[in-house]
Chain A
Amino acid sequence: MNMMSDDGWVTEDGRTIGGVMLDLKNITLRFGGVVAIKDISFNIRQGEIRAIIGPNGAGKSSMLNVISGFYRPQEGEVWFEGQKRREIQPYEVARKGIARTFQNIALFEGMSVLGNIMTGRLTHMKAGLAAQALWWGKAQKEETKNREFVEHIIDFLEIQSIRKTPVGRLPYGLKKRVELARALAAEPKLLLLDEPMAGMNVEEKEDMCRFILDVNDEFGTTIALIEHDMGVVMDLSDRVVVMDYGKKIGDGTPDEIRNNQEVIDAYLGVAHD
């Protein structure tokens, strides 16, 4: 097995995992009297694929919302790239290099695939409103540049054939892919995927797995994902966090998680015999 030092390590398949990128320290999140997350700490390292698993209602999506800045935890600290994060708006989080996809697809249904992905480039467009509306001067050049970037993503995710199709007409699996494309268009350092494979058939899942691995490999994007398909999680991720009823009950490599008795009992089920 590889040496897992604080500065990072090299995985069996030759990828380099770096130092800590995002550090969550003693996070507690409450909605009124309901405690969604109870004193959880874990970190995400540069270049890794980190999975968050747990039964329904374990607080996984809430955790992702804490990372994306949508929820503000009552207790605890979020450190991103060595800095403690103050209370910020979600759009500021996007500017800092965090992008996400949603469990229930959140695309503009009436807009074309291309248009949707272009919205992901918004943080990279600097021209003023008037210039953009008139497609004038700087705005024109900027749009060409950004369109080129988006075309590379379209090529990367193999969605050329639906470039001009309105999103509302696409099947579910493709919508998920378009959402990933939009997140990638923001050139994120950290990509959050909320159940990227939910509701997909075997073939679509395999495609999605390949895209996630390729994104991580080609762009060096750090990925945190929530997923229910255990096969996928164990194959894909470098490290796994397991949550149950808002608490962390396991954290480690897929092998360690597989052999963790508490996880087996809580999540994979206890054999009654």
Chain B
Amino acid sequence: MEGDKAQAALTSIPALLARNVAQYGHRLAMREKEFGIWQSWNWTQVAEEIRHLALGFLSLGVKEGQHIAIIGRNRPMHYWSMVAAQMVRAVPVPIYQDSVAEEMAYVLEHCGASYVVCGDQEQVDKVIEVSESTGLHFDVVYTDKRGMRRYDHSHLNALEEVMEQGAAAITGLHEELDRRIASIGYDDICVMLYTSGTTGRPKGVVLSNRNIIETSKRTAEFDHLTHREEILAYLPMAWVGDFIFSVGQAFWTGFCVNCPENGETMMTDLREIGPTYYFAPPRIFETLLTNVQIRMEDAGPLKRWMFKRALAHARKVGPQLLDGKSVGLGDRMAYGVWNFLIYGPLKDAIGFSRVRVGYTAGEAIGPEIFAFYRSLGINLKQLYGQTEASVFIAQQPDGMVRDDTVGVPSPGVEIRIDDVSGEVFYRSDGVFVKYYKNPESTASTKDPEGWVATGDAGFIEQATGHLRIIDRAKDVGKLADGRMFAPKFVENKLKFYPEILEAVVFGKDRDYCTAFLNIDLTAVGNWAERNNIAYASYQELAGHPLVLETLQKHVAEVNESVARDEKLNGCTIQRFLVLHKELDADDGEMTRTRKVRRVVIADKYADLITALYDGSTSVYTETEVTYEDGRKGSIKATLEIRDLEPVAMPSMAAE
């Protein structure tokens, strides 16, 4: 009974914090590497810091219902700011720290933030710029004091000083804070997150305490997470996943969140921490695999041979071992030996030796990439989610992992497939409250019964109950001859090759499919170096005939594999070109979470697409680029277009 009562009262993040102090007081709650050493805080200390911060917010005059934007990298102070904001009943709004001032202006203006917590001078400068261009007024609090000395401090405070003010707070403030904490309800706003949006303006997704806590509770149980887990918080704080993992689940189960030293030390920090619970978008797994492959190519012949043999064996039995299926004794022993010689050291080098539960989501992961990690014995699983669902819609249970599905509905989630459009709908208590100041979008996304449209087309496999996602519903279309067209299916296959960083496939309502490719500078640069190929720029390397030759081979291989798919055999690529610049979020070609924006790309490179379909063998183009500081420039290039032999399609021949 008592347990029930305690559970029932856990209806806000501050309430979870209080429970964690009582239950795990001296266990570590957070670490951050600074000055080369991991600094740590236990739950009691964290609670104290957050309280001081909340009192500091009160003394700054934060009112209930006001919005506090948080812009910075993953640092304890920033997580604490979010919880402190909830304590004073303000709404925390984390914002992508790499957004340029224009994007930031939209979000700050839309949420009407009164206060902004900035990580460093760079962010403060952007906020000041926004303030000047929009005429809005913000009170800014900054974490890193560096370079801030000579700013006008009338509306600018160091976070440290705000906390000191809070620590020295007079008693009245304590009572006010306690009153505010006590008044937080289960259905009150917990956090507001802006979706990056592959189309149109970002939308402010309002998530309640119920959304976050119920989701965290169920999913923590699903994967048997305990207070002993270690995670590395390195994904953008403005992304819903980071909030669920580093705040929701961390506060629910009481595990330790580790913050890297800075953005570039992630790999070293990952290795030092050795997380037990790990999350990354496919992109990171791809990059990691590419790096491993490059390093192996540079290794000696013996090591290369061993690596090849070991991986071949891992591919054969690794996944079965991971799923607990029966494997012959000989194979089992060989796996053990290779594990000692190769898999173990490799996993250690990439920081995965202790990973018990690993997830990838955001986009489909290449089956070969997925298999690589699983064969090493890393329990990598797929997850399908959205900001609007507080992440979880479907996920793969241990032992039922496959590369082509995203798993079964997450606990507490109902899934329905629309009969006509094939679009996936879901309903759960993690479903968002509303889009902030946008009732039309709220109404068109969430129906009165609480069903939410995902915008993705998919189907549920009858035999297993697993959900399969085909593509964005609006991207799925038909070729001119009526065959099904799903660009992402082909793009994912292309992106498995280390040389290909990004691919965009066109073909909707056309006679055949074509593609833009982006080379991966790390992989192709390394290859060029080993083959004595000189190049002066990205553009030159991307247009090198030998590079084109290699990519053409890859495309041909992908075509063969695509041609074998029953539903999507029309999606073979007949012509392609290699772009002269990397697709970039700063140019609006990708979202901040690195998903391609098809409409923008199709519009911006309309001339190239025309060339792909009019039979020309090369095309001249000029492209505007935006530098990191917002200045613009342009690059010119003549791109070669390559044609591919059509694949003999047995199924077509049979018809």
Q: Could you list which residues of chain A lie within 8 angstroms of chain B, going by C-beta atoms? A: 13-15, 147-148, 151-152, 154-156, 158, 160-161, 163, 202-203, 206, 210, 213-214, 217-218
Contacts and interface: CB of A to CB of B under 8 A. Distances in A.
Interface string B236-262: 000000000000000000000000011
Given A163-B36, A213-B147, 6 more contacts: A151-B35, A155-B34, A160-B262, A161-B262, A217-B147, A218-B146
A44 to B, nearest CB: 22
B491 to A, nearest CB: 30
Contact of A156 (B34, B146, B261, B628): B146
11 contacts: A14-B150, A151-B36, A151-B37, A154-B36, A155-B34, A155-B35, A160-B261, A160-B262, A163-B36, A214-B146, A218-B149
Q: Is the interface of B mostly helix, strand, loop or mixed?
A: loop
A151 B261 CA distance: 12
A118 to B, nearest CB: 12
A181 B35 CA distance: 14
Contacts of B36: 147, 151, 154, 160, 163
A158 B628 CA distance: 18
B156 to A, nearest CB: 14
Contacts of B35: 148, 151-152, 154-155
Interface in B627-651: 627-629
Interface string B376-395: 00000000000000000000
A106 to B, nearest CB: 25
Contact of A203 (B33, B34, B628): B628
A206 B629 contact: yes
A203 B628 CA distance: 8
Contact of A158 (B33, B262, B629): B262
B655 interface: no
A217 B36 CA distance: 24
A14 B265 CA distance: 35
Interface string B244-286: 0000000000000000011011001000000000000000000
Contact of A160 (B146, B147, B264, B628): B264
Contacts of A156: 146
Interface string B610-639: 000000000000000001110000000000
B368 to A, nearest CB: 29
Interface residues of B, number: 17
Q: Which of B36, B627, B629: most chain A Cβ within 10 A?
A: B36
A218 B261 CA distance: 21
Q: Is the interface of A mostly helix, strand, loop or mixed?
A: helix
Interface of B: 33-37, 146-147, 149-150, 261-262, 264-265, 268, 627-629
Given A151-B36, A154-B36, A214-B147, A161 B629 contact: no
Given A160-B262, A161-B265, A13 B150 contact: yes
Contacts of B262: 158, 160-161
B147 to A, nearest CB: 5
B262 to A, nearest CB: 5
Contacts of B265: 160-161
A13 B36 CA distance: 33
Q: Which of A15, A147, A155, A218: most chain B Cβ within 10 A?
A: A155
Nearest 6 CB-CB pairings of A with B: A161-B264, A151-B35, A161-B265, A160-B261, A14-B150, A151-B36
A115 B265 CA distance: 18
A125 B601 CA distance: 59
Contacts of A210: 147
B146 A161 contact: no
Nearest to A13: B150
A71 B645 CA distance: 70
Contacts of A151: 35-37
A161 B268 contact: yes
B265 to A, nearest CB: 4
B261 A217 contact: no
B550 to A, nearest CB: 26
Nearest to B268: A161
A240 B36 CA distance: 38
Contacts of B627: 202-203
A156 B147 CA distance: 10
A8 to B, nearest CB: 17
Contacts of A202: 627
B279 to A, nearest CB: 21
A160 B149 CA distance: 24
A211 to B, nearest CB: 10
A111 B268 CA distance: 19
B291 to A, nearest CB: 14
A218 B34 CA distance: 19
Given A151-B35, A155-B34, A158-B262, A217 B150 contact: yes
Contacts of A160: 33, 36, 261-262, 264-265
A209 to B, nearest CB: 12
Nearest to A147: B36
Nearest to A156: B146
Q: Which of B33, B35, B150, B629: most chain A Cβ within 10 A?
A: B35
B146 A15 contact: no
Contacts of B150: 13-15, 217
A131 B147 CA distance: 39
Contacts of A203: 627-628
Nearest to B631: A202
Contacts of B629: 206
Contacts of B33: 160
A14 B35 CA distance: 30
Contacts of A154: 35-36
Contacts of A158: 262
A155 B34 CA distance: 8
Nearest to B33: A160
Contacts of A15: 150
B334 to A, nearest CB: 35
A206 to B, nearest CB: 7
Contacts of A163: 36
A204 to B, nearest CB: 12
Nearest to A154: B36
A13 B147 CA distance: 12
A43 to B, nearest CB: 25
B119 to A, nearest CB: 13
A152 B145 CA distance: 14
B399 to A, nearest CB: 38
B268 A217 contact: no
Contacts of B628: 203
B248 to A, nearest CB: 29
Contacts of A217: 147, 149-150
Contacts of A213: 147
A218 B149 CA distance: 8
Contacts of A147: 36
Nearest to B151: A14
A47 to B, nearest CB: 13
A213 B262 CA distance: 22
Contacts of B264: 160-161
A207 to B, nearest CB: 11
A219 B149 CA distance: 12
Contacts of B261: 160-161
A15 B629 CA distance: 26
A184 B35 CA distance: 16
A148 B629 CA distance: 33
A236 B150 CA distance: 16
Contacts of B149: 217-218
Contacts of A161: 261-262, 264-265, 268
